[in-house]
Amino acid sequence: MSAKLAVFVAVLLASIPSLSQVQPAAGRVSRVNFSVGAGMDYWSGDWQKGDINRWGPAAWGTATIWHCLGINVEGHSMILGGNQDASNYKLFIGEGGLMCTMGYWGRFQPIFKGELGFASLTQPGNGTGHFHSNYNTYSAGGGAEYHLGGHWWTRVDYTYEAIPNFHSSITNQYHTLNPRGVAFGATYRFGPSGTHF
């Protein structure tokens, strides 16, 4: 009887490790979904009468961690085109924060975001004698991604930016500058083809 029990225990112990090696490989699921993208911005600079409208490159990366909630980092710029006043106005922004990629309606997924970051602004004179300064920023925005096919999506989103402690030469006071605009471009989502978060 003890020989049969020893054989049974030996078979049981030998079979458990082989089962545990196969199962995780077949059932492994990544909990973090990554995506990266790039495109163009078209923003208004909130300068004087708001006549500063410029283009610039944009880039973003998102790690969706739990349900719709993820971390987004992105960069915006205003460096191309515009009218005569725009030639001395250049803005670069780098931010990161929370993003929620909501639901999945057909090929659309709405996105909402709130971020903190830094801005580098070169502007016409504002009464301080400085033509370039760096600022802390915060922003809110939203938009949607549209599934083109495979791993590729198109993103369009709106961002309302806040650059606090900007000196106004008109009022001779400090206030919050609010550049804002639309970014659009292509996003590549890693993982299985057609992944939606």
At 167 the pLDDT is 76
Closest of 162, 167, 112, 157 to residue 136, by C-alpha: 162
**Dihedral sign for Cα atoms in the order 86, 92, 97, 99:** positive
Q: What is the pLDDT of residue 14?
A: 46
> What pLDDT is recorded for position 3?
59
Dihedral of the CA atoms 101, 102, 105, 109 (nearest 10)?
-20
Instruction: Report pLDDT for 78.
Output: 93
pLDDT in the model for residue 92: 96
Tell me the residue type at 125: G
**pLDDT at residue 62, as a whole number:** 94
Amino acid type, 93:
I
* Mean pLDDT in consecutive groups of 10 residues from the start of the chain, 197 residues: 52 43 47 92 81 91 90 95 79 96 85 96 71 91 94 96 84 86 95 63
139, 162 contact by CB (below 8 A) = yes
19 alpha carbon, distance to own chain's centre = 41
- The helix/strand/coil state of 187 is strand
Q: Are 178 and 46 in contact (CB under 8 A)?
A: yes
- According to CATH, the topology of domain 31-189 is Porin (2.40.160)
Query: What pLDDT shows up at residue 145?
Result: 94
